[in-house]
Amino acid sequence: KKIKDIPIDIIFMSTLIRAQMTGFLAMNQHTTTKTLVVNHEKGKLCDWGKVFNDKTKEDTIEVYFSWHLNERMYGELQGNNKDEMRAKFGKEQVHIWRRSFDVAPKNGESLKMTSERTLPYFKDVVLPHLDKNKNVFIAAHGNSLRSIVMFLDKLSGDEVVKLEIPTGEPIIYEYENKNFIRTTKI
């Protein structure tokens, strides 16, 4: 409901269902009368989903799914209970794996590795829409969003590990003169 009156021109979501549900639930509360249209980047669905009528295009909001926005992969910690992992590996080690910038759990990603997929996507795919004065909505996850906020707020690796992204709370930025200005508190 907190973004219900903010105009949205295009939406980017992770391929994971929890981010998609959050994004679609947020848009269900939105005041727009436009229809959300999921676009696919390749294959038959890409061809079949095209809208060719300019008037119809004006009445839609394009939605794109990308694995680049997926949550950080926790490797062998994935799917395990945090307390059990603390008992097995030690509280300090689990904390280092979960909160450090460049230390990854076995077969998993560090936040740095996560940013190596989220930031190129943000810069190459999302940013051009902002440069065209489009209002962009991103529905993703704590760590993928932390890596993007790190870039937007120009945070260091030491600073970003202290950053908590609240679940389900919008983080709103304005983009002016190639600069990002956060208008909500984290």
What is the percent of the chain with per-residue pLDDT over 70, rounded to a whole number? 100
Pairing mode, strands 136-139 and 179-182: unpaired
Residue 181 to residue 174: CA distance in whole angstroms: 5
Domains in the chain: ranges and CATH: 10-72+110-182 (3.40.50.1240), 74-108 (no CATH)
pTM of whole model > 0.85?
Answer: yes
Would you say residue 186 has pLDDT above 80?
no
CB 37 within 8 A of CB 60: yes
pLDDT digit string (tens) for 30-54? 999 999 999 887 888 888 878 888 9
pLDDT digit string (tens) for 127-180? 999 999 999 999 999 999 999 999 999 999 999 988 999 988 999 999 999 999
